[in-house]
């Protein structure tokens, strides 16, 4: 039962039926298929500001924001204008353009953690290239990742922990050779002991440790700063490179991302999402010395037909120019914190088993009473049943969040006070239903 009539999904259902004939599972990225929530996936027709509309004309306040890129909301006039202006002169040349310099300058001028970067076309590509760079630079093969971090669909990172504290990864996707997974070590998050053991067991073999400094793909598993500092130290001592995967946290927590937030300098940083203003852009950056190993300067090969594409660069320039303005993040983060805290307060007063974990403008609804969740295995999988109900109630009240209880939500700069008030009321009502149900 629902506490409100279900929204119409007639047109979406029709489109989904067609899509199933064209694409595996009817989608071009798995989570879009609504497998862990109720009903047909919504086909989106339009977005403006913090709102989106689906094919049936239902309108929503959007907290998915294209999974993070749209920190200025949908269809921001400055981004649209810059992209349109660039498109008047053609879409792609496969040759250098001044726009690449412009976006790089904007990034590097405001970011003390990297000196040079390379643009690619997705987060996955950024991570894949960063791993190759780390291996080429250190002349070592093994990489270490954490259970509960997602880094895109890179073969050697589609691995999960086996049994034991420090394990070789087991592939988490068909099609990944076991020999690839054997080069990946997997340890739990926020666990110094496991990290220490891994470096002892694989002495002088680990090229790089990769982590989402703010793990946000399997719930929001906020790490203790002390743990991240320890991670930095143990990498330095063992001459392994530390890669911060900032595809979500980059330009989200602040212009300098999680590196700036924790004031920890990784050796390589990967970016995606926000850096492209909603167009396909990723990047990886490091010191000038490490980046000199990339082709054509060095011997680590990496290339891309559409890398640095002028239209995509333009979206990035327009978006990042807004983010670089003084006070941008203070205002956004304060607004998001007040939103998350108000929901937490409501849930606490009502005695609901809900924690709203949040940092910057990222939030996560966890149906739990645990004070903190820092590791993947601390999430209670059975709590996802509650999320399923919650998600449907939210959609029926005009609130769109990612269709999985393991996904985080995002507040954008164009969610006004009024929008957030409306959203809060809808969230309160939905929680009332979920907990009485």
By the criterion CB under 6 A, which residues form the site for ligand PMP? 67, 122-124, 127, 150-152, 212, 217, 245, 247-248, 272
CB of 6 to ligand PMP, least distance (A): 29
Q: Which two tokens stand for residue 21?
A: 């004939």
CB of 246 to ligand PMP, least distance (A): 7
- Give 51 or 151: the residue with its C-beta nearer to ligand PMP: 151
CB of 122 to ligand PMP, least distance (A): 4
Other CB atoms within 10 A of residue 253 CB? 23
Catalytic residue among 82, 142, 145, 273: 273
CB of 245 to ligand PMP, least distance (A): 4
Active-site annotation holds for 6: no
Active-site annotation holds for 355: no
- Give 49 or 69: the residue with its C-beta nearer to ligand PMP: 69
- Give 49 or 285: the residue with its C-beta nearer to ligand PMP: 285
- Give 199 or 284: the residue with its C-beta nearer to ligand PMP: 284
- Give 4 or 153: the residue with its C-beta nearer to ligand PMP: 153
Closest CA to 182 of 166, 195, 171, 193: 171
Question: Is-contact 206 140, C-beta < 8 A?
Answer: yes
- Give 124 or 205: the residue with its C-beta nearer to ligand PMP: 124
- Backbone torsions φ then ψ of 202, nearest 5 degrees: -115, 50
Q: HSE, CB side, 13 Å, CA atoms: give it for residue 303.
A: 9
Q: Which two tokens stand for residue 372?
A: 């903190």
CB of 71 to ligand PMP, least distance (A): 14
Burial class (CB in 10 A: 0-12, 13-18, 19+), 331: exposed
Active-site annotation holds for 273: yes
CB of 186 to ligand PMP, least distance (A): 16
Q: What is the DSSP letter of 199?
A: H
Q: How many residues does the chain have?
A: 437
> Rounded CA gap, 239 and 236, in Å?
5
- Backbone torsions φ then ψ of 150, nearest 5 degrees: -115, 140
Other CB atoms within 10 A of residue 180 CB? 16
CB of 183 to ligand PMP, least distance (A): 19
Other CB atoms within 10 A of residue 266 CB? 28
Q: Which residue is nearest to ligand PMP (CB)?
A: 123
CB of 213 to ligand PMP, least distance (A): 10
- Give 235 or 279: the residue with its C-beta nearer to ligand PMP: 279
Residue 45: strand, helix, or coil = strand
- Give 191 or 245: the residue with its C-beta nearer to ligand PMP: 245
How distant, in Å, are the alpha carbons of 353, 368, 376, 391, 404 from that of 381?
Answer: 14, 10, 10, 16, 12
Question: Is-contact 353 434, C-beta < 8 A?
Answer: no
> Rounded CA gap, 329 and 16, in Å?
38
CB of 212 to ligand PMP, least distance (A): 5
Closest CA to 413 of 62, 71, 47: 71
Catalytic residue among 54, 191, 245, 267: 245
- Give 152 or 403: the residue with its C-beta nearer to ligand PMP: 152
- Backbone torsions φ then ψ of 356, nearest 5 degrees: -105, 95
Catalytic residue among 113, 150, 346, 406: 150
CA dihedral 246, 248, 250, 252 (to 10 degrees): -150
Tell me the DSSP string of 50-62.
TEEEETT--EEEE
Helix (H), strand (E) at residue 196: helix 192-201
Task: Give CA angle at 327 (324, 328), nearest 5°.
Answer: 55
Active-site residue list: 150, 245, 273
């Amino acid at each position: 039962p629902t506490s409100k009539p279900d929204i119409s999904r007639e047109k979406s259902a029709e489109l989904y039926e067609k899509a199933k004939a064209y694409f595996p599972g009817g989608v071009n990225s798995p989570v879009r298929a609504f497998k862990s929530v109720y009903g047909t996936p919504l086909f989106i027709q339009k977005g403006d500001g913090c709102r989106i509309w689906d094919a049936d004309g239902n309108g929503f306040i959007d907290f998915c924001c294209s999974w993070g890129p749209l920190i200025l909301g949908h269809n921001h006039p400055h981004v649209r204008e810059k992209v349109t202006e660039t498109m008047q002169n053609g879409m792609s040349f496969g040759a250098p353009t001044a726009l690449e310099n412009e976006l790089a300058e904007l990034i590097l001028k405001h970011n003390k953690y990297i000196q040079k970067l390379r643009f690619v076309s997705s987060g996955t590509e950024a991570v894949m290239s960063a791993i190759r760079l780390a291996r080429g630079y250190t002349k070592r093969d093994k990489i270490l990742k954490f259970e509960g971090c997602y880094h895109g669909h890179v073969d050697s990172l589609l691995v999960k922990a086996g049994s034991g504290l420090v394990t070789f990864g087991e592939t988490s996707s068909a099609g990944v050779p076991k020999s690839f997974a054997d080069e990946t070590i997997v340890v739990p998050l926020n666990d110094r002991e496991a990290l220490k053991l891994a470096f002892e067991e694989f002495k002088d073999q680990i090229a790089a440790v990769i982590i989402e400094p703010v793990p946000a793909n399997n719930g929001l598993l906020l790490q203790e700063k002390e743990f991240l500092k320890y991670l930095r130290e143990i990498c330095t001592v063992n001459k392994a490179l530390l890669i911060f995967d900032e595809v979500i946290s980059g330009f989200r927590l602040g212009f300098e991302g999680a590196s700036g937030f924790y004031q920890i300098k990784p050796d390589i940083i990967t970016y995606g999402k926000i850096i492209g203003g909603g167009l396909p852009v990723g990047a990886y950056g490091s010191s000038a010395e490490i980046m000199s190993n990339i082709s054509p300067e060095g011997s680590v090969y990496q290339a891309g037909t559409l890398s640095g594409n002028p239209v995509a660069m333009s979206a990035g320039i327009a978006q990042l120019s807004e983010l670089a303005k003084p006070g941008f993040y203070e205002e956004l983060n304060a607004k998001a914190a007040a939103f998350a805290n108000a929901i937490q307060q409501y849930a606490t007063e009502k005695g609901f088993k809900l924690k709203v974990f949040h940092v910057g403008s990222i939030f996560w609804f966890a149906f739990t009473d645990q004070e903190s969740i820092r590791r993947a295995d601390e999430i209670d999988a059975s709590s996802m049943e509650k999320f399923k109900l919650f998600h449907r109630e939210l959609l029926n009240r005009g609130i769109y969040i990612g269709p999985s209880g393991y996904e985080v939500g995002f507040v954008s700069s164009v969610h006004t006070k009024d929008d957030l008030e409306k959203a809060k009321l809808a969230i309160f009502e939905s929680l009332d239903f979920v907990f009485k149900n």
